[in-house]
Chains A and B, each alone.
Chain A
Amino acid sequence: MQKIQSKLKLLFIFSILFFLSGCEEFKDVDKDVFVSMIGIDLSEDKDKPYKVILKLFVPTSSFKQNPEANYTYLVEKGETLSEAIRMLETHIDKELDFGHMKLIVIGEELINNNKTKEILDFLLRRPDIQLISWITVGRPNAEEIVKMVPAGETAAYPSLYNYFDGNGTESPYIVTTFLFDFRRRMMDNGLDPILPIVQVSENKTTFTVNKSFVLKDKKTPFELDSLSTLVFNTLSMNVQMADIEVNEENELFVARLDKIKAKNKVKVQKDNQVSLEIDAKLVGYIAESENALNMRDLPKYSQLLEKEAKDKITKFMKLLQSEGIDPIGFGLKYKAQTIHHKRMSTEKWKEAYKNADVKVKVSASLKSTGSIQ
């Protein structure tokens, strides 16, 4: 009897616990407001250098009734990012939830002013920002990018996401950098961070993403133009598809590559002479041509493509070398394959990288002229 009584008492106490469920962690989903993207800009105010722009989803009960995208924006300046966000929390009645934030836009000015380290630190420390969010540069500033809603955007999935998630457009001109990858590139020697540049297109209705920034330590970032971005994507095998225009020996055609394989090697000779070897295999077909093409001449076209691709890659590599930037990661490769006491110092490697021999080998095979004869 005593035993049952004590058991009943325990049960009673536990049932009281149930009423305590209004504790701090329990929060219904309708009391949260989800942030869709964050923009970080440099403000004009000297004391409060950071300007944070949040784009918030407005929840609807049915996307069928409200198919149009609906957002609210919060803007605040602060001395630090946390301060700005803390102030932003006073601007809205609900809890800010960064769990669904997939995109971080950093203003171009901030990048030019070399503030990336501080921003990265904030982004990494905040627990509800996911490391799989994409990080981009907004041109001319983040606010313009964040606040723009292009025509035809569906509710709950901002169209800017589609540029990076690999489900929408799969253009070879788009560099996709995840936050975790960005951090790794920031921390590592011999692998430079690269960020896509998001612009608003001329007619102000869509975004344009086809350029990128390579960050260098303590220096202004170097901008890769569209073509260089394409070559970078090809060499780092970020893309499955690419177009290469070939204009040689009176032929002008566009090769559409649907299989791209690129290997790179670092070979060290004596007295710190380095050679970078790139071995690319391109498979594809001809998508467009000025002249009539003959099936039998496919090997010839392949050779032309090889030549063109080799030219482009060599040019790209020369550009990287002259600027001393390394987004592909030759330096990391060198470090990985050399024992530490035989390794040259970072400064020496930089010098060696600039003067390195570039050997590019391309083997292209075009499978078809793209038309039925």
Chain B
Amino acid sequence: MNTQETLLWINEQFSHTNELVQKTLEYEQKNIAYMYIKSLIDNEMLQKTIIKPFFEMANMEQFKLYVQALPQFEEVPAKEQVLLEIMNGSILLEIGNELCLIDLKLSKNDEVSSASVEMTIHGSQIALSDNLLTNLNLIRSYYRQPTLNIEYMSLGEVNQQKVAIVYDTEKVNTQALKLIKEKLQRVDKQVISAANQFNNYLNDKRFSLFPQMIMTEPPDRIIYNIAGGKVVILQDGSSQCLAAPVVFFDFMNTMEDDYHTVIISTFLRLLRYLGFFISLLLPSIYVGVTSYAPEVFRTELALTVAGSRMGVPFSSFVEVLFMLFFMELLLEASIRLPKAVSATATTVGGLILGTAVTEASLASNIMVIIVSAVAISTFVIPVNEMAFAIRIVRLLLIVITSIFGLAGLTLGFLVFILYLTSLDSYGEPYLRVYNYKKNKERSEGHL
């Protein structure tokens, strides 16, 4: 296919829009033609790199060499690819009956943002930007290894989103890498808007509760994951990335664990696991103990609980579900609200509702304490997705406990552990304690 035909074909593709700019420059026996999409191009760069030199160069030969030397220069591939590149912010340049592409993309989203989801005190304060290239730049500049490999794909039939798979070829879990690539190729969606969607798209199960990939944003955690043999998936336009395979304990870790002294971080970890169990079990234990086995309490506590439940019209499990329901509403509402309003919402919901509910004796004082303890300890779980999953498991445990008592709770918890054990994330057992040494030995076939 020759140059003119390609140009014609591209023109045809854009015939419905007037965004495509076509220009021809002629000056002292020099002539070039170019086309680009107006809203994607950095005009200043265009002026500096193409137009100005064109008028200053002595002849066509020199200009052609100059263009080929530009770092943004690209050979012209197939015409479909050319179309895509134009839509990505390249300009198509015709010099003496030859075509070339020059990337002059204007990106306004390449600024590294500060961490907003994973807040830390000691860890990295920056997070990824929305721009894929900036993100890759960040990762490359923090992970100085020639073995760091980046593979690109474009997914989403309509929006053709750029997706990058980043891993260290020497350390990566090859089995997981193979699986992830296979599954990525099979993704058949019209629009892909954020990297987080892959958590569902790469999952073969229809209903799944626990995340199979960990969503993260600070670069120190990404580097840590790559070095640990994980595959990181980044997507253009998404300031979060996904790492896989994961084990359950990854969700209970923060990067700060490595930045504190051993005793402090052990204490914090203990605190976190304690919070995890409280948020998972406390409401069910309340139901089970008050309604099935009040002997378990200390005498004083049993009497206080019994006393504070006086006049409460509901059974203990209805009381728990009722209060938890309002807590969940409050959580959900405060996410969506603008910052200025959300403070008011939490005050109204938490403080006023809490006191009013006990005063109207719709719930006992102790119930309000339990619900707030549960709400606080849910926030202790460092990764958000796990906290969401735990909230659902908690509800299931309450239901089981209100039917079968403490024995049911024990059994339900056992089933929960069995379920976690049966899960795997891209071939990695979900409840396995991550061990670099063993992992390496396994990948080398010693285990």
Contact B294 A26 (CB under 8 A): no
Residues of chain B within 8 A of A275, CB atoms compared: none
Q: Would A34 and B299 be within 8 Å (CB), given that A21-B403, A29-B290 are in contact?
A: yes
In the complex, what residues of B have CB within 8 A of residue A18's CB?
Answer: 399, 402-403
Complexed CA–CA distance, A20 and B317 (Å) = 13
Within 8 Å CB of A26, what residues of B? Answer: 291-292, 315, 402, 405
- CB neighbours (8 Å) of A156 from chain B are 299-300, 303-304
CB of B337 closer than 8 Å to a CB of A: no
Please indicate the chain B residues that have their CB under 8 angstroms from the CB of A25 in the complex.
Answer: 292, 405
When A and B form their complex, which 3 residue pairs have the shortest distance between CB atoms, in order from nearest?
A99-B295, A61-B307, A59-B307
Known interface pairs A26-B315, A34-B294, A97-B294; 15 further A-B residue pairs with C-beta atoms within 8 A, sorted by A's residue number: A18-B402, A21-B315, A29-B302, A30-B307, A30-B309, A32-B294, A57-B299, A57-B303, A59-B310, A62-B304, A99-B295, A100-B302, A102-B299, A156-B299, A156-B304
Whether the pair A157, B306 counts as a contact (CB closer than 8 A) is no
Q: Contacts of A97 on B, CB cut-off 8 Å?
A: 294-295
Q: Which residues of B contact A34 (CB under 8 A)?
A: 294, 299, 302-303, 306
* A63 CB within 8 Å of chain B: yes
**Is A236 at the interface (CB under 8 A from chain B)?**
no
- Whether A60 contacts B292 in the complex (CB less than 8 A), given A17-B403, A25-B405, A30-B312, comes out as no
Question: Is B295 a contact of A28 with CB atoms below 8 Å?
Answer: no
Residues of A22-60 at the interface with B, using a CB-CB cut-off of 8 Å, are 25-30, 32, 34, 36, 57, 59-60
Alpha-carbon gap, A157 to B298, bound state (A): 10
Beta-carbon nearest neighbor of B308 in chain A: A61
Q: Which residues of A contact B (CB under 8 A)?
A: 17-18, 20-21, 25-30, 32, 34, 36, 57, 59-63, 97, 99-100, 102, 128, 130, 155-157
The 22 listed contacts between A and B (C-beta, < 8 Å) are A21-B315, A21-B317, A21-B402, A26-B292, A26-B405, A28-B290, A29-B294, A29-B305, A29-B306, A29-B309, A29-B316, A30-B309, A32-B306, A34-B302, A59-B306, A60-B303, A61-B304, A61-B365, A63-B300, A97-B294, A156-B299, A157-B299
A36 to B300 Cα, complex, angstroms: 11
Is there an interface contact between B309 and A28, defined as CB atoms closer than 8 Å? yes
- What secondary structure prevails in chain B residues at the interface with A? helix
Residue from the set B290, B302, B315, B405 with the largest chain A CB neighbour count within 10 Å: B302
- The answer to whether B290 touches A63 (Cβ under 8 A) is no
Q: How far is the CA of A157 from the CA of B302 in the complex (A)?
A: 12
Residues of chain B within 8 A of A20, CB atoms compared:
403
Contacts of B299 in A (CB 8 A): 34, 36, 57, 100, 102, 156-157
Q: Is the CB of A63 within 8 A of B302?
A: no
Q: How long is the Cα–Cα vector from A99 to B297 in the complex, in angstroms?
A: 10
Contacting residue for A30 out of B293, B310, B402, B405, CB 8 A: B310
**A132 CB to nearest chain B CB (Å):** 11
Q: Say whether B307 contacts A60, CB under 8 Å.
A: yes
Q: How distant is the Cα of A156 from the Cα of B402 in the complex, in angstroms?
A: 27
Find chain B residues with CB under 8 A from A30 CB: 306-307, 309-310, 312
Question: In angstroms, how far is the closest chain B Cβ from the Cβ of A13?
Answer: 13
CA distance A17 to B402 in the complex (A): 11
A20 to B403, CA, bound (A): 8
Across the interface, which residues of A come within 8 angstroms of B405, CB to CB?
A: 25-26
Most B CB atoms within 10 A — which of A26, A32, A34, A128? Answer: A26
By a CB distance below 8 angstroms, the chain A residues around B403 are 17-18, 20-21
Contact, CB under 8 Å: A27 / B291? yes
B358 CB to closest chain A CB, in angstroms? Answer: 10
Chain B min CB distance to A95 (Å): 10
Docked Cα-Cα span, A62 to B402, in Å, equals 26
B365-A28 in contact (CB<8A): no
CA distance in complex: A233, B300 (Å): 30
Question: Considering only CB atoms, which chain A residue lies closest to B296 in the complex?
Answer: A99
A301 to B303, CA, bound (A): 52
